[in-house]
Amino acid sequence: MIIRKAKKSDAADIAPLLLLAMEDIVYKFLKKEDYAAAKDFLLCFIARENNQYSYQNCYVAVADNKIIGAVNVYNGSDLKVLRQPIIEYVREHFNPEFDPELETRAGEFYIDSLGVSKNHRGKGIGSKLLKFLIEEYVCKNKETLGLLVEEENPLAKNLYLKIGFKVVGEKRLVGKKLEHLQISPNS
């Protein structure tokens, strides 16, 4: 398996993987539970540049020439600019009152979503993606990585804690209460 920066041509493979991680949240964006619409929404933005879901902000795990995992990460200080095209699109097409909370801020690179194909779960792909990000951002670049985890997902939280993340607070995103975890060069 290799981990590499995503390319625009990877968008169709990345969309369903990121949707695995954020399905409920995208449904709240769109104000409907429609898998095809949610996947199309993500695909539209992953294939574009300069937004929070862009392929420019993704890495992919590849095995046997197939993308089996994807992770979306960006500088928290860029969230408002990166999110603006998303807000405009959602307000115009789905939800005129759309005004999501800021899930990150300056001072961390934010792991927005991470997904592993259902056929490859339980094989350490998610851990390898996280360890890759820790090596790139925390070890090499001396940056803090942050993420949010749902209280109803203790397996994910335990994985994050096991590889060095620490709980630093709570946040809300589209009405969901989430725990904020970080890993820093100093921790």
Report pLDDT for 115. Answer: 95
Tell me how far apart the alpha carbons of residues 187 and 167 are, in angstroms, rounded to a whole number.
12
Report pLDDT for 156. Answer: 87
Q: Which CATH number is correct for 2-183, 2.30.42.10, 3.50.50.60, 3.40.630.30, 3.90.950.10? A: 3.40.630.30
- Note whether 120 and 63 are within 8 A (CB): yes
Residues of the chain with pLDDT under 50: none
Q: Where are the domains of the chain?
A: 2-183
User: What global pTM score does this model have?
Assistant: 0.94
